[in-house]
Structure 1
Amino acid sequence: MNLILSIETSTPTCSVAIHQNGDLIAQKLIVEEGGHSKQVTVLIDSLLEENGLNFSHIAAIAVSMGPGSYTGLRIGLATAKGLCFGLDIPLIALPTLKILAQGFRQIQTNHSLVRLLPMLDARRMEVYAACYELEDLQEVQASKAVILDENSFVELSGKSLLAFGNGAQKWQSTCQHPDIQFINEPMYPEAQFMGNLAYQEYLNKNFQDLVSLEPDYLKEFMGTQPKNKAL
Protein backbone atom coordinates (compact mmCIF):
# COMPACT_ATOMS: atom_id res chain seq x y z
CA MET A 1 0.00 0.00 0.00
CA ASN A 2 3.05 2.30 0.23
CA LEU A 3 1.90 3.71 3.56
CA ILE A 4 4.37 6.13 5.13
CA LEU A 5 4.23 7.16 8.77
CA SER A 6 5.46 10.75 9.30
CA ILE A 7 6.71 12.18 12.61
CA GLU A 8 7.16 15.93 13.22
CA THR A 9 8.47 17.11 16.63
CA SER A 10 10.59 20.20 15.88
CA THR A 11 8.34 22.75 17.67
CA PRO A 12 5.87 22.68 20.61
CA THR A 13 3.47 21.11 18.10
CA CYS A 14 3.89 17.33 18.04
CA SER A 15 2.21 15.56 15.13
CA VAL A 16 2.13 12.21 13.35
CA ALA A 17 0.41 11.31 10.09
CA ILE A 18 -0.13 8.46 7.67
CA HIS A 19 -0.04 8.97 3.90
CA GLN A 20 -0.68 6.58 1.05
CA ASN A 21 1.22 7.42 -2.14
CA GLY A 22 1.58 10.98 -0.79
CA ASP A 23 -2.12 11.45 0.02
CA LEU A 24 -3.09 12.13 3.62
CA ILE A 25 -5.09 9.42 5.36
CA ALA A 26 -5.10 10.90 8.87
CA GLN A 27 -3.13 13.05 11.31
CA LYS A 28 -2.92 13.26 15.11
CA LEU A 29 -1.61 16.44 16.71
CA ILE A 30 -1.08 17.95 20.15
CA VAL A 31 0.43 21.23 21.35
CA GLU A 32 2.15 20.64 24.66
CA GLU A 33 5.48 22.24 25.59
CA GLY A 34 7.82 19.43 26.61
CA GLY A 35 5.19 16.75 25.96
CA HIS A 36 6.80 15.06 22.97
CA SER A 37 8.47 12.26 24.92
CA LYS A 38 5.17 11.30 26.57
CA GLN A 39 2.88 11.77 23.59
CA VAL A 40 4.56 10.82 20.31
CA THR A 41 4.22 7.03 20.72
CA VAL A 42 0.70 7.44 22.12
CA LEU A 43 -0.25 9.47 19.06
CA ILE A 44 1.22 6.86 16.72
CA ASP A 45 -0.61 3.99 18.41
CA SER A 46 -3.95 5.80 18.41
CA LEU A 47 -3.49 6.94 14.80
CA LEU A 48 -2.99 3.38 13.62
CA GLU A 49 -5.79 1.96 15.75
CA GLU A 50 -8.35 4.56 14.71
CA ASN A 51 -7.65 3.87 11.04
CA GLY A 52 -7.70 0.08 11.27
CA LEU A 53 -3.97 -0.24 10.65
CA ASN A 54 -0.98 -1.78 12.36
CA PHE A 55 2.78 -1.47 11.98
CA SER A 56 2.89 -4.27 9.40
CA HIS A 57 1.13 -1.93 6.96
CA ILE A 58 3.87 0.74 7.16
CA ALA A 59 6.41 0.73 4.30
CA ALA A 60 8.65 3.52 5.60
CA ILE A 61 8.90 6.21 8.27
CA ALA A 62 9.60 9.88 7.57
CA VAL A 63 10.91 12.23 10.24
CA SER A 64 11.56 15.95 10.43
CA MET A 65 15.35 16.27 10.75
CA GLY A 66 15.65 19.94 11.78
CA PRO A 67 16.31 22.65 12.48
CA GLY A 68 14.13 23.19 15.52
CA SER A 69 13.91 22.26 19.18
CA TYR A 70 16.95 20.26 20.27
CA THR A 71 14.91 18.03 22.55
CA GLY A 72 12.01 17.65 20.17
CA LEU A 73 14.23 16.67 17.25
CA ARG A 74 16.10 14.09 19.32
CA ILE A 75 12.83 12.52 20.49
CA GLY A 76 11.36 12.39 16.99
CA LEU A 77 14.48 10.90 15.41
CA ALA A 78 14.99 8.36 18.22
CA THR A 79 11.37 7.23 17.85
CA ALA A 80 11.66 6.93 14.07
CA LYS A 81 14.97 5.05 14.27
CA GLY A 82 13.62 2.63 16.84
CA LEU A 83 10.55 1.83 14.76
CA CYS A 84 12.56 1.44 11.55
CA PHE A 85 15.03 -0.87 13.26
CA GLY A 86 12.33 -3.00 14.85
CA LEU A 87 10.19 -3.19 11.71
CA ASP A 88 13.13 -3.45 9.27
CA ILE A 89 11.80 -0.63 7.10
CA PRO A 90 13.60 2.43 5.65
CA LEU A 91 13.95 5.85 7.25
CA ILE A 92 13.32 9.08 5.34
CA ALA A 93 14.59 12.43 6.68
CA LEU A 94 13.06 15.75 5.60
CA PRO A 95 14.26 19.32 6.30
CA THR A 96 11.90 21.01 8.75
CA LEU A 97 11.78 24.30 6.86
CA LYS A 98 10.93 22.51 3.62
CA ILE A 99 8.04 20.82 5.43
CA LEU A 100 6.85 24.27 6.54
CA ALA A 101 7.15 25.59 2.98
CA GLN A 102 5.17 22.62 1.65
CA GLY A 103 2.50 23.35 4.26
CA PHE A 104 2.14 26.87 2.92
CA ARG A 105 1.80 25.55 -0.64
CA GLN A 106 -0.98 23.19 0.44
CA ILE A 107 -2.90 25.82 2.41
CA GLN A 108 -2.37 28.94 0.28
CA THR A 109 -2.95 27.46 -3.16
CA ASN A 110 -3.76 30.73 -4.95
CA HIS A 111 -0.80 32.88 -3.86
CA SER A 112 1.12 34.67 -6.59
CA LEU A 113 4.41 35.41 -4.82
CA VAL A 114 7.37 33.57 -6.30
CA ARG A 115 9.57 32.73 -3.30
CA LEU A 116 8.90 31.40 0.19
CA LEU A 117 10.84 32.34 3.32
CA PRO A 118 9.81 29.97 6.13
CA MET A 119 11.14 30.90 9.58
CA LEU A 120 11.22 29.07 12.90
CA ASP A 121 11.81 30.88 16.17
CA ALA A 122 15.30 30.23 17.59
CA ARG A 123 14.80 32.52 20.63
CA ARG A 124 15.54 36.23 21.10
CA MET A 125 15.99 37.82 17.65
CA GLU A 126 17.33 34.69 16.01
CA VAL A 127 15.50 32.43 13.58
CA TYR A 128 16.11 29.37 11.46
CA ALA A 129 15.27 30.25 7.86
CA ALA A 130 15.53 29.00 4.29
CA CYS A 131 14.29 30.20 0.91
CA TYR A 132 12.45 28.12 -1.70
CA GLU A 133 10.85 28.72 -5.06
CA LEU A 134 7.07 28.59 -4.68
CA GLU A 135 6.43 26.51 -7.79
CA ASP A 136 8.60 23.46 -7.07
CA LEU A 137 10.30 24.10 -3.70
CA GLN A 138 13.66 24.37 -5.39
CA GLU A 139 16.11 25.56 -2.74
CA VAL A 140 17.25 29.17 -3.25
CA GLN A 141 19.01 29.52 0.11
CA ALA A 142 19.85 26.64 2.41
CA SER A 143 18.62 26.46 6.00
CA LYS A 144 20.66 28.59 8.38
CA ALA A 145 20.48 30.37 11.72
CA VAL A 146 20.03 34.14 11.28
CA ILE A 147 20.17 36.95 13.84
CA LEU A 148 17.53 39.33 12.54
CA ASP A 149 18.09 43.02 11.87
CA GLU A 150 16.59 45.50 9.44
CA ASN A 151 18.91 44.33 6.64
CA SER A 152 18.53 40.58 6.99
CA PHE A 153 18.13 38.63 3.72
CA VAL A 154 19.17 41.61 1.61
CA GLU A 155 20.90 39.08 -0.65
CA LEU A 156 17.43 37.84 -1.67
CA SER A 157 16.32 41.19 -3.06
CA GLY A 158 14.86 41.37 -6.55
CA LYS A 159 12.00 38.88 -6.30
CA SER A 160 8.92 38.97 -4.10
CA LEU A 161 9.14 36.90 -0.92
CA LEU A 162 6.64 35.75 1.66
CA ALA A 163 7.87 35.31 5.24
CA PHE A 164 5.87 33.02 7.52
CA GLY A 165 6.24 30.64 10.44
CA ASN A 166 6.49 31.34 14.16
CA GLY A 167 9.79 33.18 13.66
CA ALA A 168 8.59 35.68 11.06
CA GLN A 169 6.27 37.83 13.16
CA LYS A 170 8.93 39.15 15.54
CA TRP A 171 10.80 40.63 12.55
CA GLN A 172 7.84 42.29 10.89
CA SER A 173 8.06 45.64 12.72
CA THR A 174 11.78 46.19 11.96
CA CYS A 175 12.13 44.59 8.53
CA GLN A 176 13.29 47.04 5.85
CA HIS A 177 13.45 44.50 3.03
CA PRO A 178 11.51 45.99 0.07
CA ASP A 179 10.38 42.65 -1.38
CA ILE A 180 9.09 40.82 1.71
CA GLN A 181 5.48 40.40 2.80
CA PHE A 182 4.38 38.64 5.99
CA ILE A 183 1.64 36.22 6.98
CA ASN A 184 0.31 37.29 10.37
CA GLU A 185 -1.09 33.92 11.51
CA PRO A 186 1.57 31.62 12.98
CA MET A 187 2.31 28.50 10.95
CA TYR A 188 4.07 25.41 12.22
CA PRO A 189 5.50 22.38 10.44
CA GLU A 190 3.13 19.43 10.75
CA ALA A 191 3.28 15.77 9.80
CA GLN A 192 0.32 16.21 7.43
CA PHE A 193 2.54 18.32 5.16
CA MET A 194 5.23 15.63 4.85
CA GLY A 195 3.36 13.21 2.57
CA ASN A 196 4.35 14.32 -0.93
CA LEU A 197 7.92 15.09 0.09
CA ALA A 198 8.32 11.72 1.80
CA TYR A 199 6.73 9.80 -1.07
CA GLN A 200 9.17 11.29 -3.59
CA GLU A 201 12.09 10.29 -1.36
CA TYR A 202 10.58 6.81 -1.09
CA LEU A 203 10.24 6.43 -4.85
CA ASN A 204 13.84 7.60 -5.30
CA LYS A 205 14.99 5.22 -2.52
CA ASN A 206 16.66 8.13 -0.75
CA PHE A 207 16.89 6.44 2.64
CA GLN A 208 18.98 7.28 5.69
CA ASP A 209 21.44 5.25 7.71
CA LEU A 210 19.90 4.39 11.08
CA VAL A 211 23.24 4.55 12.88
CA SER A 212 24.81 7.73 11.52
CA LEU A 213 21.85 10.08 10.97
CA GLU A 214 21.73 12.99 13.43
CA PRO A 215 19.34 15.96 13.65
CA ASP A 216 20.33 19.09 11.73
CA TYR A 217 20.49 21.51 14.66
CA LEU A 218 22.28 24.27 12.63
CA LYS A 219 23.89 25.58 15.81
CA GLU A 220 25.42 24.05 18.90
CA PHE A 221 23.33 23.49 21.99
CA MET A 222 24.17 26.14 24.62
CA GLY A 223 23.35 24.58 27.95
CA THR A 224 24.00 26.02 31.38
CA GLN A 225 26.55 24.56 33.76
CA PRO A 226 25.10 23.36 37.07
CA LYS A 227 26.18 25.37 40.06
CA ASN A 228 28.43 23.64 42.57
CA LYS A 229 26.70 23.13 45.84
CA ALA A 230 28.53 24.18 48.95
CA LEU A 231 29.83 21.28 51.02
Structure 2
Amino acid sequence: MILAIDASTTGCSVAVFLEGKVVVSLESKKDRSAAESLTLMIEKVLDLSACKREDLKAVAVAKGPGSYTGLRIAVSTAKGLAFALGIPLLSYGTLDALCYAIPYVDAVDFLCPMIDARRMEVFCGFYDAKTKELVQDISAELVDENSFSDILSKGKVLFFGEGSAKCKGVILHENAVFLEEVIYPEARTACKMVSEKMEKGEFEDLTSFEPFYLKEYMFKK
Protein backbone atom coordinates (compact mmCIF):
# COMPACT_ATOMS: atom_id res chain seq x y z
CA MET A 1 0.00 0.00 0.00
CA ILE A 2 1.04 3.61 -0.65
CA LEU A 3 0.10 6.58 1.54
CA ALA A 4 -0.40 9.86 -0.35
CA ILE A 5 -0.43 13.32 1.27
CA ASP A 6 -1.47 16.70 -0.16
CA ALA A 7 -1.51 20.05 1.67
CA SER A 8 -0.75 22.28 -1.31
CA THR A 9 -3.63 24.71 -0.86
CA THR A 10 -6.66 25.25 1.35
CA GLY A 11 -7.07 22.30 3.70
CA CYS A 12 -5.34 18.97 3.22
CA SER A 13 -6.04 15.42 2.08
CA VAL A 14 -4.67 11.91 2.43
CA ALA A 15 -5.29 8.65 0.60
CA VAL A 16 -4.20 5.03 0.54
CA PHE A 17 -3.53 3.32 -2.81
CA LEU A 18 -3.26 -0.39 -3.55
CA GLU A 19 -2.41 -1.83 -6.96
CA GLY A 20 -3.32 1.37 -8.79
CA LYS A 21 -6.65 1.92 -7.03
CA VAL A 22 -7.80 4.25 -4.27
CA VAL A 23 -8.65 2.26 -1.14
CA VAL A 24 -9.64 5.15 1.14
CA SER A 25 -9.32 8.93 0.95
CA LEU A 26 -10.04 11.76 3.37
CA GLU A 27 -10.22 15.50 2.74
CA SER A 28 -10.44 18.56 4.96
CA LYS A 29 -11.43 21.86 3.35
CA LYS A 30 -10.79 23.81 6.54
CA ASP A 31 -8.44 26.67 5.73
CA ARG A 32 -4.86 26.10 6.92
CA SER A 33 -5.82 22.78 8.52
CA ALA A 34 -2.63 20.87 7.69
CA ALA A 35 -0.78 21.66 10.91
CA GLU A 36 -3.59 20.52 13.18
CA SER A 37 -5.26 17.82 11.07
CA LEU A 38 -2.70 16.02 8.93
CA THR A 39 -1.33 13.56 11.48
CA LEU A 40 -4.82 12.65 12.71
CA MET A 41 -6.06 12.20 9.14
CA ILE A 42 -3.15 9.88 8.36
CA GLU A 43 -3.96 7.72 11.37
CA LYS A 44 -7.64 7.63 10.41
CA VAL A 45 -7.07 6.73 6.76
CA LEU A 46 -4.72 3.92 7.76
CA ASP A 47 -7.30 2.64 10.23
CA LEU A 48 -10.13 2.80 7.67
CA SER A 49 -8.04 0.92 5.11
CA ALA A 50 -6.98 -1.69 7.69
CA CYS A 51 -3.41 -0.77 6.88
CA LYS A 52 -0.71 -0.79 9.54
CA ARG A 53 2.25 1.53 9.16
CA GLU A 54 4.53 -1.44 8.57
CA ASP A 55 2.31 -2.47 5.62
CA LEU A 56 3.15 0.71 3.71
CA LYS A 57 5.50 0.29 0.76
CA ALA A 58 6.02 4.02 0.10
CA VAL A 59 4.87 7.52 1.01
CA ALA A 60 3.89 10.00 -1.72
CA VAL A 61 3.53 13.76 -1.34
CA ALA A 62 2.33 16.63 -3.52
CA LYS A 63 5.46 18.72 -4.08
CA GLY A 64 3.77 21.92 -5.26
CA PRO A 65 3.48 24.62 -6.30
CA GLY A 66 1.11 25.97 -3.68
CA SER A 67 1.00 27.21 -0.11
CA TYR A 68 4.46 27.60 1.40
CA THR A 69 3.30 26.48 4.84
CA GLY A 70 1.16 23.61 3.59
CA LEU A 71 3.88 22.25 1.33
CA ARG A 72 6.49 22.48 4.08
CA ILE A 73 4.27 20.61 6.56
CA ALA A 74 3.26 17.90 4.07
CA VAL A 75 6.79 17.28 2.81
CA SER A 76 8.24 17.22 6.34
CA THR A 77 5.56 14.75 7.42
CA ALA A 78 6.09 12.51 4.39
CA LYS A 79 9.87 12.52 4.77
CA GLY A 80 9.58 11.75 8.47
CA LEU A 81 7.30 8.78 7.85
CA ALA A 82 9.46 7.43 5.02
CA PHE A 83 12.60 7.72 7.13
CA ALA A 84 11.05 6.17 10.23
CA LEU A 85 9.57 3.24 8.29
CA GLY A 86 12.55 2.75 5.99
CA ILE A 87 10.43 3.05 2.84
CA PRO A 88 10.79 5.14 -0.35
CA LEU A 89 9.50 8.69 -0.84
CA LEU A 90 7.58 9.55 -4.01
CA SER A 91 6.51 13.00 -5.15
CA TYR A 92 4.14 14.39 -7.75
CA GLY A 93 3.20 17.82 -9.09
CA THR A 94 0.13 19.47 -7.60
CA LEU A 95 -0.98 20.86 -10.97
CA ASP A 96 -0.36 17.49 -12.65
CA ALA A 97 -2.71 15.80 -10.19
CA LEU A 98 -5.38 18.47 -10.68
CA CYS A 99 -5.64 17.44 -14.33
CA TYR A 100 -6.81 13.99 -13.25
CA ALA A 101 -9.68 15.55 -11.29
CA ILE A 102 -11.34 16.96 -14.42
CA PRO A 103 -14.63 15.19 -15.25
CA TYR A 104 -14.43 15.81 -19.01
CA VAL A 105 -11.87 16.93 -21.62
CA ASP A 106 -13.49 16.24 -25.01
CA ALA A 107 -14.52 19.81 -25.82
CA VAL A 108 -11.12 21.47 -25.28
CA ASP A 109 -7.56 21.18 -26.55
CA PHE A 110 -5.63 22.20 -23.44
CA LEU A 111 -6.06 22.07 -19.67
CA CYS A 112 -4.82 24.87 -17.43
CA PRO A 113 -5.05 24.10 -13.71
CA MET A 114 -4.60 27.22 -11.58
CA ILE A 115 -3.67 27.71 -7.94
CA ASP A 116 -4.19 31.07 -6.27
CA ALA A 117 -0.88 32.84 -5.57
CA ARG A 118 -2.54 35.97 -4.09
CA ARG A 119 -3.64 39.22 -5.70
CA MET A 120 -3.90 38.63 -9.47
CA GLU A 121 -1.11 36.07 -9.57
CA VAL A 122 -1.59 32.35 -10.17
CA PHE A 123 0.52 29.22 -10.37
CA CYS A 124 -0.40 27.46 -13.59
CA GLY A 125 0.66 25.06 -16.31
CA PHE A 126 -0.73 23.98 -19.68
CA TYR A 127 -1.41 20.34 -20.50
CA ASP A 128 -2.63 18.42 -23.53
CA ALA A 129 -6.29 17.69 -22.77
CA LYS A 130 -6.13 14.10 -24.02
CA THR A 131 -2.72 12.90 -22.82
CA LYS A 132 -2.42 15.22 -19.78
CA GLU A 133 1.20 15.79 -20.76
CA LEU A 134 2.70 19.18 -19.88
CA VAL A 135 3.06 21.32 -23.02
CA GLN A 136 4.10 24.64 -21.44
CA ASP A 137 6.24 25.09 -18.35
CA ILE A 138 4.64 25.61 -14.95
CA SER A 139 4.98 29.23 -13.91
CA ALA A 140 3.76 32.01 -11.62
CA GLU A 141 1.81 34.48 -13.77
CA LEU A 142 0.38 37.92 -13.11
CA VAL A 143 -2.91 37.75 -15.00
CA ASP A 144 -4.23 40.49 -17.29
CA GLU A 145 -6.38 40.63 -20.43
CA ASN A 146 -3.45 39.59 -22.65
CA SER A 147 -2.35 36.61 -20.58
CA PHE A 148 -1.87 33.27 -22.35
CA SER A 149 -2.76 34.71 -25.77
CA ASP A 150 -0.21 32.49 -27.54
CA ILE A 151 -1.67 29.18 -26.42
CA LEU A 152 -5.24 30.47 -26.65
CA SER A 153 -4.61 31.14 -30.34
CA LYS A 154 -3.83 27.42 -30.79
CA GLY A 155 -7.08 26.01 -29.41
CA LYS A 156 -9.63 25.95 -26.62
CA VAL A 157 -8.24 26.05 -23.09
CA LEU A 158 -10.11 24.91 -19.99
CA PHE A 159 -9.10 27.00 -16.97
CA PHE A 160 -9.94 25.48 -13.59
CA GLY A 161 -8.84 25.23 -9.98
CA GLU A 162 -9.12 27.70 -7.12
CA GLY A 163 -7.07 30.33 -8.96
CA SER A 164 -9.26 30.44 -12.06
CA ALA A 165 -12.25 32.29 -10.58
CA LYS A 166 -10.46 35.64 -10.42
CA CYS A 167 -9.33 35.24 -14.04
CA LYS A 168 -12.77 34.65 -15.52
CA GLY A 169 -13.64 38.33 -15.90
CA VAL A 170 -10.16 39.21 -17.15
CA ILE A 171 -9.32 36.59 -19.78
CA LEU A 172 -12.01 37.14 -22.40
CA HIS A 173 -10.50 35.30 -25.38
CA GLU A 174 -13.05 33.27 -27.36
CA ASN A 175 -11.06 30.09 -26.76
CA ALA A 176 -11.02 30.52 -22.98
CA VAL A 177 -13.38 28.15 -21.14
CA PHE A 178 -13.83 28.24 -17.36
CA LEU A 179 -15.02 25.34 -15.23
CA GLU A 180 -17.79 26.53 -12.92
CA GLU A 181 -17.01 24.01 -10.19
CA VAL A 182 -14.05 24.89 -7.98
CA ILE A 183 -11.68 21.93 -7.90
CA TYR A 184 -9.06 21.68 -5.17
CA PRO A 185 -6.00 19.42 -5.13
CA GLU A 186 -6.76 16.08 -3.46
CA ALA A 187 -4.40 13.20 -2.78
CA ARG A 188 -6.73 10.62 -4.34
CA THR A 189 -6.38 12.14 -7.83
CA ALA A 190 -2.67 11.29 -7.85
CA CYS A 191 -3.29 7.53 -7.78
CA LYS A 192 -2.36 6.87 -11.42
CA MET A 193 0.80 9.00 -11.34
CA VAL A 194 1.98 7.67 -7.99
CA SER A 195 1.37 4.05 -8.95
CA GLU A 196 3.36 4.50 -12.17
CA LYS A 197 6.23 6.19 -10.32
CA MET A 198 6.27 3.35 -7.80
CA GLU A 199 6.44 0.76 -10.56
CA LYS A 200 9.30 2.62 -12.26
CA GLY A 201 11.17 3.16 -9.00
CA GLU A 202 11.20 6.96 -9.36
CA PHE A 203 11.99 7.72 -5.74
CA GLU A 204 13.16 10.96 -4.13
CA ASP A 205 16.28 11.42 -2.05
CA LEU A 206 15.16 11.79 1.56
CA THR A 207 18.06 14.07 2.42
CA SER A 208 17.86 16.57 -0.41
CA PHE A 209 14.20 16.60 -1.47
CA GLU A 210 12.45 19.96 -1.09
CA PRO A 211 9.01 21.26 -2.12
CA PHE A 212 8.56 22.97 -5.48
CA TYR A 213 7.74 26.45 -4.18
CA LEU A 214 8.14 28.04 -7.65
CA LYS A 215 8.61 31.56 -6.31
CA GLU A 216 10.45 33.11 -3.40
CA TYR A 217 8.45 33.87 -0.30
CA MET A 218 9.23 37.00 1.66
CA PHE A 219 8.91 37.13 5.42
CA LYS A 220 8.84 40.12 7.71
CA LYS A 221 11.05 39.86 10.76
TM-score range, shorter chain: over 0.9
* 2:146 corresponds to which of 151, 165, 176: 151
CA gap of 1:193–1:109, structure 2 versus 1, over 3 A, is same
SS of the residue corresponding to residue 189 of structure 1 reads: coil
Q: Which has the larger radius of gyration?
A: 1
Per-residue CA distance 1:101-134 (angstroms, 9 max, x = gap)? 1111xxx146331210000000000000001112
The question of 1:216 aligning with 2:212 is answered yes
* Gapped regions of structure 1 (runs ≥ 5): 226-231
1:67 corresponds to: 65
Whole-angstrom distance in 2 between the partners of 1:47 and 1:151: 44
2:83 corresponds to: 85
1:97 corresponds to: 95
The question of 1:173 aligning with 2:178 is answered no
With normalisation by structure 1, the TM-score equals 0.92
1:62 and 1:92 in contact (8 A); partners too? yes
2:16 and 2:49 in contact (8 A); partners too? no
With normalisation by structure 2, the TM-score equals 0.96
SS of the residue corresponding to residue 3 of structure 2 reads: strand
Per-residue CA distance 1:1-39 (angstroms, 9 max, x = gap)? xx1110000011210001112211110111222221111
Whole-angstrom distance in 2 between the partners of 1:109 and 1:55: 36
Whole-angstrom distance in 1 between the partners of 2:121 and 2:127: 20
1:7 corresponds to: 5
AA paired with 1:176? L
SS of the residue corresponding to residue 150 of structure 1 reads: coil
Query: Post-superposition shift, 1:78?
Result: 0.2
Query: Post-superposition shift, 1:176?
Result: 2.8
* Gapped regions of structure 2 (runs ≥ 5): none
Identity of aligned residues (%): 37
2:112 corresponds to: 117
SS of the residue corresponding to residue 92 of structure 1 reads: strand
AA paired with 1:63? V
AA paired with 1:52? A
Query: Post-superposition shift, 1:195?
Result: 0.6
Query: Post-superposition shift, 1:52?
Result: 1.4
The question of 1:193 aligning with 2:189 is answered yes
